Amino acid sequence: MNADNNTPVNFIENIIEEDIQTGRYGGSVNTRFPPEPNGYLHIGHAKSICLNFGLANKYKGLCNLRFDDTNPIKEEEEYIESIKEDVRWLGFDWGDRMYYASDYFEKLHEFAVKLIREGKAYVDDLTADEIRGHRGTLTEPGRESPYRNRSVEENLELFERMTRGEFRDGERVLRAKIDMSSPNLNMRDPVMYRILHASHHRTGDKWCIYPMYDFTHGQSDSIEGITHSICTLEFEDHRPLYDWFIKALGIYHPRQIEFARLNLTHTVMSKRRLLQLVERGYVNGWDDPRMPTISGLRRRGYTPESIRTFCERIGVAKRDSMVDSAFLEHCLREDLNKRAPRMMAVLKPLKVIIDNYPDELTEELEAVNNPEDPSMGTRKVPFSKFIYIEKEDFLEDPPKKFYRLAPGREVRLRYAYFIKCTDVVKDKVTGEIIEIHCTYDPSTRGGDAPDGRKVKATLHWVSARHAFNAEVRLYDHLFLMDNPMDDRDGLDFLEKVNPGSVEKLISCMLEPALKEVEPGYRCQFERLGYFCADIVDSSENNPVFNRIVPLKDTWAKVQKSQGQ
Ligand code: ATP
Ligand code: MG
């Protein structure tokens, strides 16, 4: 791990430090995060954000935010706003360097004309299908278009007419003249410009031809003076093309470095698929707490710190891999364990009457806010004759290893007293348990018996008279299998959505201190997990809680059993 924050921790930092030493970019390190505004960001993007902004921070450089908005059809303002909010929430700042690839449309057009003039680009009249048909395969070379050898003058004129809007969508394209038999398919005369009579969210109807991503990305990096252009592995095969454009244009040359994208178990990660989940109503919007989007994780209750830690620890590699979602949860627990206050809430209440406790008495018992951090102090929790415990903490006929409450048995109520069950009241018709009766031992106030006797279980509880009712939502994975994209089962990923991925509990009873919390407030409900007051559905004095994660750390357990 990165102990002194100076040693390189991965291959990207090695490359950068080498460049600093050789003075390749005058010692500067400038990066960018380049999302296409066609959806909300997900945890995979968080990895890229942490990497790009993190490198700029570490090497005292700058990181730009650049919207790669070359496709007018799929892009929306809503996405741009959400992306800005997510990057900021993660804790990063692009200063005054927010750019759009569309800022460079004019420049890119000039670049295209320059390549035509030099005989390095031509207008092709083949249809998209025909171009595909001419492309060849990995084992066979492509065939040259019959329009490939048009004169510079003709190309200039046709491109000009394309620009003026004289042709229909798809009628012509501008292609780079490179090599139809290159073993790299990206080099077989790739399309640079296409005709699209569509309004762009920023340039309106100014253009009816739009540059392809491949003719935009590298030049945008160059224009912005990016030194290290960090992208995911699928762009490795595009690098020769980007290099070719940069060289042909004779412009400043950034260095592209590829790393493996993050894949996470039990979810899907591409914006296209996330959009399907949203549009077809499998989830309630991009910020549904089950979504792997940054807005979904935020609403669920994840902290930006835990996501940054996660991204740092998974590191960067050259080979694709799948990270266990239990590790992300582990990072969250580790963070909240240190700083989340402990509170008491009963999700599925069972009424307990303490027969020997005075009817009208309320005691204010002292509870520790966080045993991990004494500086967080204590609070008072009201106790009275009527309390609620979890239904599942009582069994009339307990099996061997059940140590919680049962008839005749004594347990501890956290921060309160020992109680002993004396009677069970059931519904005469259904046989369902309605309430249980107990006695308490006044000498055990605070939770310990002066005679030293032990109990095997400590239960959380709330005072019935003081608690308030709230809705609590429990979440499970959106997909139960590790990799829902594995299609060996012949199913589409949408058919594999976990129907039990959310459980809404409406009769939960919470300790009174939780009533006035702000939306976004996080705490631990003792024994139940970490929870967050939903930022959308909570209202004043009426919080709705999301369970971020249960307490059981399956990741830590796996690590322990592997002796790590
Ligand atoms: P998606 O397939 O989810 O739509 P994308 O790569 O098309 O992702 P972009 O908006 O183009 O999304 O990505 C912005 C940046 O985030 C790019 O540099 C891209 O490489 C990076 N990125 C996207 N997904 C991941 C991922 N899963 N892990 C790491 N980086 C990613
Ligand atoms: Mg993309």
- Alpha-carbon distances, residue 556 vs 149, 348, 463, 483, 551 (angstroms): 64, 28, 34, 21, 11
Q: Are residues 411 and 489 in the same domain?
A: no
**C-beta of 71 in contact with ligand 1 (< 6 A):** no
Q: Are residues 528 and 429 in the same domain?
A: no
Q: Are residues 520 and 541 in the same domain?
A: yes
Range of the domain at 554: 271-341+470-561
**C-beta of 231 in contact with ligand 1 (< 6 A):** yes
Q: Are residues 380 and 317 in the same domain?
A: no
Give the distance (Å) from ligand 1 centre to CA of residue 44. Answer: 7
Nearest ligand to the C-alpha of residue 68? 1
Q: Does 370 map to a domain?
A: yes
Q: Are residues 234 and 275 in the same domain?
A: no
Tell me how far the alpha carbon of residue 440 is from its chain's centroid: 47
Question: Quick one: which H or E segment has residue 248?
Answer: helix 239-249
Q: Are residues 140 and 45 in the same domain?
A: yes
CATH, residue 352: 2.40.240.10
In this prediction, residue 341 carries a pLDDT of 98
In this prediction, residue 2 carries a pLDDT of 43
Q: Does 265 map to a domain?
A: no
**C-beta of 66 in contact with ligand 1 (< 6 A):** no
In this prediction, residue 555 carries a pLDDT of 85
Number of domains in the chain: 3
CATH, residue 243: 3.40.50.620
**C-beta of 45 in contact with ligand 1 (< 6 A):** yes
pLDDT in tens, the chain (564 residues): 444 556 778 999 999 999 999 999 999 999 999 999 999 999 999 999 999 999 999 999 999 999 999 999 887 889 999 999 999 999 999 999 999 999 999 999 999 999 999 999 999 999 999 999 999 999 999 999 999 999 999 999 999 999 999 999 999 999 999 999 999 999 999 999 999 999 999 999 999 999 999 999 999 999 999 999 999 999 999 999 999 999 999 999 999 999 999 999 999 999 999 999 999 999 999 999 999 999 999 999 999 999 999 999 999 999 988 999 999 999 999 999 999 999 999 999 999 999 999 999 999 999 999 999 999 999 999 999 999 999 999 999 999 999 999 999 999 999 999 999 999 999 999 999 999 999 999 999 999 999 999 999 999 999 999 999 999 999 999 999 999 999 999 999 999 999 999 999 999 999 999 999 999 999 999 999 999 999 999 999 999 999 999 999 888 777 777 765
Residues annotated as catalytic (active site), given as ranges: 36, 261, 271
Q: Are residues 298 and 207 in the same domain?
A: no
**C-beta of 120 in contact with ligand 1 (< 6 A):** no
Q: Are residues 183 and 104 in the same domain?
A: yes
Q: Are residues 389 and 476 in the same domain?
A: no
Q: Whose CA is nearest to atom 22 of ligand 1?
A: 45
Q: Per the structure block, which two tokens stand in for 380?
A: 């008072």
Nearest atom within ligand 1 for CA of residue 274: 3
Give the distance (Å) from ligand 1 centre to CA of residue 459. Answer: 46
Residue 230 φ/ψ, nearest 5 degrees: -100, 125
Is residue 38 a contact partner of residue 71, using CB atoms and an 8 Å limit? yes
Nearest ligand to the C-alpha of residue 271? 1
Give the distance (Å) from ligand 1 centre to CA of residue 45. Answer: 5
Nearest atom within ligand 1 for CA of residue 36: 10
In this prediction, residue 9 carries a pLDDT of 85
Nearest atom within ligand 1 for CA of residue 272: 4
Q: Does 6 map to a domain?
A: no
Task: Kindly give the residue spans of alpha helices, DSSP state H, lying in 23-68.
Answer: 43-58
**C-beta of 449 in contact with ligand 1 (< 6 A):** no
Q: Are residues 123 and 191 in the same domain?
A: yes
Give the distance (Å) from ligand 1 centre to CA of residue 35. Answer: 7
Q: Whose CA is nearest to atom 25 of ligand 1?
A: 44
**C-beta of 271 in contact with ligand 1 (< 6 A):** yes
User: For the chain, what is the largest distance between any 2 Cα atoms, rounded to a whole number of angstroms?
Assistant: 102
Give the distance (Å) from ligand 2 centre to CA of residue 500. Answer: 31
Q: Does 3 map to a domain?
A: no
- Domain end (from 460, 489, 504): 460
In this prediction, residue 6 carries a pLDDT of 65
**C-beta of 341 in contact with ligand 1 (< 6 A):** no
Q: Does 266 map to a domain?
A: no
Q: What is the dihedral of CA 30, 35, 41, 46, to 10 degrees?
A: -20
**C-beta of 476 in contact with ligand 1 (< 6 A):** no
Q: Are residues 275 and 299 in the same domain?
A: yes
In this prediction, residue 554 carries a pLDDT of 82
Q: Whose CA is nearest to atom 9 of ligand 1?
A: 35
Q: Does 5 map to a domain?
A: no
**C-beta of 29 in contact with ligand 1 (< 6 A):** no
Q: Per the structure block, which two tokens stand in for 133?
A: 């048909």
Q: Does 47 map to a domain?
A: yes
Q: Are residues 67 and 33 in the same domain?
A: yes
Question: Edge-to-edge strands of the sheet including 345-346?
Answer: 342-343, 522-525, 529-533, 545-549, 468-475, 502-510, 345-346
Measured distance between the N- and C-terminal CA atoms of the chain, rounded to whole angstroms: 15
Choosing from 232, 242, 310, 316 the residue with most ligand 1 atoms within 8 A of its CB, the one to mutate for a pocket test is: 232
Task: Tell me the torsion sign for CA atoms 103, 109, 114, 116.
Answer: positive
Give the distance (Å) from ligand 1 centre to CA of residue 144. Answer: 33
Give the distance (Å) from ligand 2 centre to CA of residue 36. Answer: 6
Residues around ligand 2, an ion, CB closer than 5 A = 36
Q: Is 334 exposed, middle or buried (0-12, 13-18, 19+ CB in 10 A)?
A: middle
In this prediction, residue 497 carries a pLDDT of 97
Nearest ligand to the C-alpha of residue 43? 1
d(CA 536, CA 471): 13
Q: Does 2 map to a domain?
A: no
Of 473, 478, 468, nearest in space to 531 by CA: 473
